A and B are shown apart, each in its own frame.
Chain A
Amino acid sequence: MHQFVVQAATESASPLAPNWWEVLVTAVGFAILLFIVVKFVVPAFEKTFAARAEAIEGGIAKAEKAQAEASAALEEYKQQLVEARTEANRIREEARAEGAQILAELKERAAAEAARITEQAHAQIEAERQQALVSLRTEVGSMATTLAGRIVGESLDDDARASRVVDRFLADLEAQNAGAAK
């Protein structure tokens, strides 16, 4: 009968004893790798990370700036709107005042004109009256003299006398008028 035999592993050099060539190769290999990592890999990744962080932060800053600019512009527009409104009100107010002033001026001018016209008319009437009075006096004198001469039958050609009579008569008349007016 054949037994199933498992052979014990043969005793060999301790696995804890290193092969110094392997240690050396590992050391040199790791040193080269570390050098490459320090020199190229880490700086490249860090640079990318930093650039990316900066790009993101820059984007945020840019957005914030745009936001600030937009709100500043809005503020400015609002300010301008208020100013425009005030301006419009002021202009309207001014126009109203001006209109009123113009109206008053026109009224005054019209009144002055009217007064002037009235004055002129009065003066003219007075002048015409005077003229009529003078001409009336002359005419009435000569007519009355003529009439009286006819009635009396005696020519009153003596001008001097006639004038005196007429004047006396008119004076009496005026005195009468004056007394009546009182």
Chain B
Amino acid sequence: MTPLTLPAADNSGTFTPPTLEDLHLPAILPWGADEGFNKQMLLVVLSVVFIAWFFIAASRKQSMVPGKLQFLGEQLYGFVRNGIGKDVIGGRDFMTFVPLLFALFFFILVNNIYGAVPLFQLPTMSHVGGAYFLAGLVYVIWIGVGLKRFGLRYLKLAVVPSGVPWYIMPIVVPIEIISNFIVRPMTHSLRLFATMLAGHLVVALAGSGIAFLVEQENVVLKGLSVFVLVFAVAMYMLEALIMVLQAYVFTLLTAIYIQGAVAADAH
């Protein structure tokens, strides 16, 4: 008998891992057969309320010597403004894009962190729609910025790198077109979506695994649940880190794309 062999008296002994369907809870306010106002939508609305409330409260006083709340707000704002906007886009026109970067960073951050907060427990971006929308918005914005600045010449600037011999152009130009205009929005959205979905699945899997193991009568299997719990906590920490990191990465990439459009003639 191996330890993995279950006694006959046990329940079916079948472990059913959480599926993607389990991440899509029934709608809170259904209005169709399969549609309705669901948890993801509720969390999005709540995130807007949280962020707006916090930053309006933090920026309302405008005192020369900030209090704790104002100081925190200024640090967070300054992180996006200077750490992402100013450092990446540069001193001349970064202020135009600071509101977008700021809203993106905190919108994604709060919607990701939901995954690590009990009761909320769902990173909004693990539903692909939100990630598609944000990446699409950024895609439209950076192309718009480029076209506004350089006119139709931008399309050439974006796909024809300077300093490349003419005979390599037939290879380089298609690659640039594919990488900049087709692959870029996909990777931008899927990176966010996939990390959130995978992290959420791993934590959910660990959670259901613990629940399954604890119910076993076999002492060894029961004991293994402690092992899984430790692993789950470690994964949870890693997930929390990734949630913050992905919000930063998404915003940083947005800034890099915009910078590329703003200074398309520089490279």
B38 contacts A37, CB within 8 Å? no
Minimum C-beta distance from B178 to chain A (A): 19
B59 contacts A19, CB within 8 Å? no
B102 contacts A19, CB within 8 Å? no
B52 contacts A6, CB within 8 Å? no
CB-defined contacts of B16 to chain A, threshold 8 Å: 7
- Say whether A95 faces chain B, with CB atoms less than 8 Å apart: no
B59 contacts A2, CB within 8 Å? no
Which residues 23-57 in A have Cβ within 8 Å of B in the complex? 23, 25-27, 29-30, 32-34, 36-38, 40-42, 44-49, 51-52, 55
- Contact A33 B52, CB 8 Å, known A7-B14, A25-B41: yes
A41 to B100, CA, bound (A): 12
CB-defined contacts of A44 to chain B, threshold 8 Å: 56, 59-60, 62
CB-defined contacts of A48 to chain B, threshold 8 Å: 59, 62-64, 66, 70, 74
Taking chain B's interface residues, is the majority helix, strand, or loop, or is none over half, making it mixed? Answer: helix
CB-defined contacts of A26 to chain B, threshold 8 Å: 44, 124, 129-130, 133-134
- Residue count of chain A within 8 Å CB distance of chain B: 42
Which residues 66-103 in B have Cβ within 8 Å of A in the complex? 66, 70, 73-74, 77, 81, 95, 98-100, 102-103
- Say whether B219 faces chain A, with CB atoms less than 8 Å apart: no
CB-defined contacts of A51 to chain B, threshold 8 Å: 62, 64
Instruction: Out of B59, B107, B124, name the residue touching A41 (CB < 8 Å).
Output: B59
Chain B interface size, as a band, is: 35 or more
* A and B contact pairs by CB, cutoff 8 A, 26 listed: A2-B6, A3-B5, A4-B4, A4-B5, A4-B6, A5-B13, A6-B17, A9-B20, A10-B19, A20-B129, A21-B41, A23-B130, A26-B130, A26-B134, A27-B133, A29-B48, A29-B107, A30-B134, A33-B48, A33-B103, A41-B52, A41-B77, A42-B99, A45-B59, A49-B74, A51-B62
Which positions in A face B, CB cutoff 8 Å?
1-7, 9-10, 12, 15-23, 25-27, 29-30, 32-34, 36-38, 40-42, 44-49, 51-52, 55
What are the 10 tightest A-B residue pairs by CB atom distance, in nearest-first order?
A: A44-B59, A22-B129, A18-B129, A23-B129, A26-B130, A25-B41, A29-B44, A9-B19, A41-B55, A37-B103
